[in-house]
């Protein structure tokens, strides 16, 4: 697996510069009490702060402008989670954003537009890997959602055990893939169903809904709303409550609840990759993605 090879090959948390395609073409070092798992590299997309005293790590997504989930970003994120999992002293992980007003804008469209089937396949394996690592993690995972979180950003949030969102009506969250002409795969759907129930998921996915924080709280898409400047501190306080539960009992219960969903993907990973590649490389889908990219260009202009 190319992704796993990348995970083994990259010794740190530094990433690569994203490869852009124009629309017209088809062992960490400990520093007590805070461990900072970060390369001194401007291309680093993930910064991890680990407090050895509390056993809690904070993962800061910092890939401007909107923390798009590119292949390089996802690889770096997976490495970060894997390193924390291997550290027996790390019991909790908080995921948040260093980018203003956005948690993550979701999957990088440029990874799906104008790329070869092989590249699309590697990208999708990385998306799968990200979900599997976080959704089945033994650590307590909390999403500190300090900005908008559409599509893949929403998926990243709902893989966590608990979600705290900034109470700002300008922020939105949801799986809005159908608005781009894309179909959310079965494991996106299953994660959403496990979070907000079948009917809410059916409405959300078919209509590509994006929810305001208050609407997201109402259906259970997020668990708590707090003022924008209190998201991270509230996540730290909440983590303390989760870590007070006997670890073995919590981990076994989490596995019992999530194992059927995890097993469904792990037993169908290759077929899921092939389905994605076949779908995303269709001319009609590529055209939809091109139109969306052109719309984004016009907004920036």
Catalytic residue set = 107, 152, 176-177
**Tokens standing for residue 271:** 């077929």
How would you classify residue 208: left for phi > 0, otherwise alpha for psi between -120 and 50, otherwise beta?
A: left
Contact 165, 153 (CB under 8 A): no
Distance CA 112, CA 279 (A): 10
SS (H, E, C) the chain: CHHHHHHHHCCCCCCCCCCCCCCCCCCCCCCCCEEEECCCCCCCCEEEEEECCCCEEEEEECCCCCCCECHHHHHHHHHHHHHHHHCCCCCEEEEEECCCCECCCCECHHHCCCCCHHHHHHHHHHHHHHHHHHHCCCCEEEEEECCEEECHHHHHHHCCCEEEEECCCCCCEECCHHHHCCCCCHHHHHHHHHHHCHHHHHHHHHHCCCECHHHHHHHCCCCEEECHHHHHHHHHHHHHHHHCCCHHHHHHHHHHHHHHHHHHHHCCHHHHHHHHHHHHCCHHHHHHHHHHHHHHHHHHC
Tell whether omega for the bond before 65 is within 30 degrees of 0, i.e. cis: yes
């Amino acid at each position: 697996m190319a992704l796993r090879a990348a995970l083994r090959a990259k010794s740190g948390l530094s990433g690569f510069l994203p490869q852009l395609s124009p629309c017209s073409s088809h062992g960490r070092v400990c520093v007590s009490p805070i461990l900072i798992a970060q390369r001194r590299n401007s291309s680093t997309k993930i910064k991890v702060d680990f407090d050895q005293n509390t056993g809690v790590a904070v993962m800061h997504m910092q890939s401007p402008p909107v923390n798009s989930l590119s292949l390089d970003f996802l690889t770096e994120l997976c490495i970060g989670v894997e390193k924390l999992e291997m550290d027996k002293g790390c019991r909790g992980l908080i995921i948040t954003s260093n980018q203003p007003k956005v948690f993550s804008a979701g999957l990088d469209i440029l990874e799906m537009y104008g790329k070869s089937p092989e590249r699309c396949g590697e990208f999708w394996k990385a998306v799968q890997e990200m979900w599997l690592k976080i959704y089945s993690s033994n650590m307590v995972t909390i999403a500190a959602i300090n900005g908008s979180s559409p599509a893949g950003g929403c998926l990243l949030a709902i893989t966590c055990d608990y979600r705290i969102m900034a109470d700002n009506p300008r922020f939105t969250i949801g799986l809005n893939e159908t608005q781009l002409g894309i179909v959310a795969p079965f494991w996106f759907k299953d994660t959403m169903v496990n979070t907000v129930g079948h009917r809410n998921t059916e409405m959300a996915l078919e209509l590509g809904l994006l929810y305001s924080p208050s609407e997201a709280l109402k259906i259970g898409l997020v668990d708590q709303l707090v003022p924008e400047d209190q998201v991270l501190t509230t996540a730290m306080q909440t983590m303390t409550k989760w870590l007070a539960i006997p670890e073995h009992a919590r981990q076994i219960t989490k596995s019992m609840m999530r194992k059927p969903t995890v097993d469904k993907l792990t037993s169908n990973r290759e077929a899921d990759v092939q389905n994605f590649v076949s779908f995303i490389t269709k001319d009609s889908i590529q055209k939809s993605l091109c139109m969306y990219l052109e719309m984004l260009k016009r907004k920036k202009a």
